[in-house]
Amino acid sequence: MSSAMTGQAKAGTPAGRSRLSAFGSAFVAGGYTMYPVLALLVLVGAVVAPNFATGINLINILEQVSVLGLTTIGLTFVVLIGRLDLSLEGIVGFAPMLAAVCLVPATAGGFGIELPSWMGLVVALGTAGLIGYFNGFMVVRVGLNPFISTLGLLVLLRGGVLIVSNGRSIYSPGPALTYLGSAKLLGLPVSVLVFAFVAVAIGLVFKYHRYGRALYAIGGNEDAARAAGINVDRVIWSAFVYAGLLAGLAGVLMTGRLDSAVTTQGQGIIFSAFAAAVIGGVSLGGGRGTMVGLVSGVLLIGVINNLLTLAQVPSFYVQASTGAVIIVAAVLTTVASRRSSGVRTRT
């Protein structure tokens, strides 16, 4: 009995509170804040919707979020350095559409040049990378505000999709554009494996590579990063390129899943990407965020949308839920961050 009382006393000592505070800080800093919420949602879903916890549905959720996940990772490259890139939504639609019209014959809505099928992925990712390079040029060399620059490019790309396709969707554009989004490997969709591989690889870069540390340093204090010898302009420029490439890859996955490049492809995905980033604890001011947290945000949005769909909630309510989730997640993340750091929140 005395030992139990001693243990309770130790838990209430400053040392015990310090250990608890340290655990809370590490939990938040590691990006794990939303995982208890995600686990609760999965538990609720399994109870209220019998079809939710089936293997087929869970794999379907992962397949659905793979496109959003890649787009969010691309967005995070830019957000970590304290910038924004709204054009990623346009890249998701334009890059695969341009590749599609270069592959199919004129009778199917293409340009008529009918490039070899394997060129589809090259054209799509090449286009996406060039758009990202252009964004970096406009921000670094011209000095434009990234919000205004990428917003203008988003509108331009949306119009470009209609121009190159003559307002038509391109069906069955070829295996180079459809394999990654439609095939299965080891019983899992290839799109899920692609997302998992990209998330792990870039997560390691963010955490351990000097390039990842440069991203955080620039987002935290650009002047200090420059004084420390970091080539700030090059890192910013490359971040836009990587963001564009990942958005292009996301567009290819979406094209494969639909077996077509559609004129409305990717519309609205940038808002979901921002939501996933915010939910996952990525600071829109730059310099803070983890891949672990980012993945939790992507999964949370996927689970919520799936639950609402299974509950036959009208689609416009599903869209509205994204905004509500952003607000709730922002509040929870802020409160958790303040409490873990010992800062009291107002009541």
> What integer is the mean pLDDT of 234-239?
96
Is residue 77 in a domain? Answer: yes
CATH of the domain at 115: 1.10.3470
Main-chain phi, psi angles of 66, to 5 degrees: -65, -40
CA 255/CA 261 separation, integer angstroms: 5
Is residue 347 in a domain? Answer: no
CA 71/CA 128 separation, integer angstroms: 12
Is residue 42 in a domain? Answer: yes
Specify the pLDDT at position 345: 42
Mean pLDDT lowest among 12-21, 27-36, 45-54, 214-223:
12-21
Is residue 21 in a domain? Answer: no
Total domain count, the chain: 1
CB burial of 170-187 (b: ≥16 within 10 Å; e: otherwise) equals beebbebbbbbbbeeeee
Q: Which two tokens stand for residue 263?
A: 């004129």
> What integer is the mean pLDDT of 282-301?
89
Residue with tokens 């997560």: 203
Task: Give yes or no for residue 343 having a pLDDT over 50.
Answer: no
Is residue 28 in a domain? Answer: no
- Give the single-character DSSP code of 310: H
Q: Which two tokens stand for residue 73?
A: 């990772």
β partners of residue 188:
185
Is residue 345 in a domain? Answer: no
Q: Is the pTM of this model over 0.75?
A: yes
Is residue 1 in a domain? Answer: no
Specify the pLDDT at position 1: 47
Q: How confident is the model at residue 252 (pLDDT cuts 50, 70, 90)?
A: very high
Q: How confident is the model at residue 108 (pLDDT cuts 50, 70, 90)?
A: confident
From residue 182, alpha-carbon distances to 176, 229, 339 in Å are: 11, 45, 44
pLDDT digits (tens, 9 = 90+) for 187-236: 899 999 999 999 999 999 999 999 999 999 999 999 999 999 999 999 99
From residue 327, alpha-carbon distances to 139, 164, 260, 343 in Å are: 29, 38, 34, 20
Domain span holding position 181: 34-333
How many residues are present in the chain? 347
